[in-house]
Amino acid sequence: MANKLPFADPSKETWRLFRIMAEFVDGFEAMSRVGLAVSIFGSARTKPDAVHYKNAEKLAAKLVEHGFAVITGGGPGIMEAGNKGAFEAGGTSVGLNIALPHEQSGNEYQNITLDFHYFFARKVMFVKYCMGLVCFPGGFGTLDEFFEAMTLIQTGKSPAYPVVLFDSKFWSPLVDFMRNTLLEEYGNISASDLDLFIITDDIDEAADHLRLCAIQVVAEKSRGDMEDDMRLPAQERLTGEGTRYGARPRNKPSKKRPFQAE
């Protein structure tokens, strides 16, 4: 009897594609109207009386003052703080909610709300429609978002945008690991990769860094040679999910048999 994956029923897999497409269509339609935005990540377990809840709330309000919308995962903790700060400052407050096995209740401070079943579709919305990213202390989800952003920017697959790590006490041990182990001991990253983000404990510094970088990005996008995207080299054109096309991989001939030209 042939081996079959218990979760891959051929009669259902094609229909699953339409559910995925629906999430992208709804997301693209809603998010394309948001304008300049900053995504804020952090722990869902942060309580409203915690210092970083207050910091995220204040930073979101500052970002609204600078003309940004704020995007979060729509849940409690830092996500709620970011939405609350933007909402109460009169700005656009976006919540990209996710359906989880254990129920996550969406916070009440969203004036744009989207619900996702698929993490990967939701993550595209965070990356495609943000001009900057702020990571407060968090768990696996926050680290996942941070390293995904680092991968896209490092490889040039995504246009570079500012990334802020808030709370030096929390993030410095991770950066030490990157520097001492990834860079110096194993040589798995470049020294310049450590310049792709900043660490700060100051709300004004974070907001100003995001504002100044966004001004630079918008200025570059406004140049005449950027008006027609199709005039750009393939490596500079953007795909539908907001990443660059890039050059096709050049596969080496197999060592098992001689290369035969067509």
**Element housing 71 (H / E):** strand 69-72
pLDDT for position 254: 62
Q: Using an 8 Å Cβ cutoff, are 54 and 88 in contact?
A: no
Q: What percent of the chain has pLDDT over 90?
A: 70
Give the per-residue pLDDT at 262.
Answer: 47
Return the number of other C-beta atoms located less than 10 Å from residue 259's C-beta. Answer: 8
pLDDT of residue 19 exceeding 80: yes
Closest CA to 188 of 225, 214, 244, 150: 150
Confidence band, pLDDT 50/70/90 cuts, at residue 159:
confident
In the numeric block, which tokens belong to residue 244? 């660059």
The alpha carbon torsion through 38, 41, 45, 48 (nearest 10 deg) reads -20
Closest CA to 142 of 39, 235, 257, 58: 39
| Whether the predicted pLDDT of 107 surpasses 80 | yes
Cβ neighbour number for residue 80 with a 10 Å cutoff: 28
- Residue 34 confidence class, pLDDT cut points 50, 70, 90: very high
What's the whole-number mean pLDDT along residues 205-232? 73
- The domain defined by 36-236 folds into Rossmann fold (3.40.50)
Mean pLDDT of 107-135: 95
Give the H/E segment covering residue 113.
strand 112-116
Q: Is the pTM of this model over 0.75?
A: yes
Instruction: Count, in order, helices (H) and strands (E) of the chain.
Output: 7, 7
pLDDT score for 205: 98
Query: Measured at the alpha carbon of residue 131, what is the angle toward residues 126 and 137, in degrees to the nearest 5?
Result: 60
CA-angle at 73, arms to 222 and 46, nearest 5° = 125
- At position 153, the amino acid (one-letter code) is I
Cα(83)–Cα(262) distance, rounded to whole angstroms? 57
By C-alpha distance, which of 87, 81, 140, 142 is closest to 111? Answer: 87
Q: How far apart are CA 41 and CA 172, in angstroms?
A: 17
Three-state DSSP class for residue 251? coil
Q: What is the mean pLDDT of residues 3-11?
A: 69
Q: How distant, in Å, are the alpha carbons of 33, 77, 89, 170, 211 from that of 80?
A: 22, 5, 14, 20, 22
- For the beta carbon of residue 207, count every other beta carbon within 10 angstroms: 25
Query: What mean pLDDT is predicted for residues 42-47?
Result: 96
pLDDT band at 105 (very low <50, low <70, confident <90, very high): confident
Give the per-residue pLDDT at 131: 93
pLDDT value, residue 237: 67
Higher-pLDDT residue of 3 and 258 is: 3
Confidence at residue 225, expressed as pLDDT on a 0 to 100 scale: 44
Q: Comparing C-alpha atoms, which of 66, 112, 55 is closest to residue 89? A: 66
Give me the mean pLDDT over the 51-77 stretch: 97
* Least-confidence region, from 63-77, 142-156, 205-219, 230-244: 230-244
pLDDT above 80 for 133: yes
* 3 state SS of 135: strand
* Rounded Cα gap, residues 176 and 169, in angstroms: 11
Quick one: pLDDT at residue 250?
A: 74
Report residue 214's pLDDT band, with 50, 70 and 90 as the boundaries.
Answer: confident
Altogether, the residues listed in the chain come to a count of 262
Q: What is the pLDDT of residue 12?
A: 77
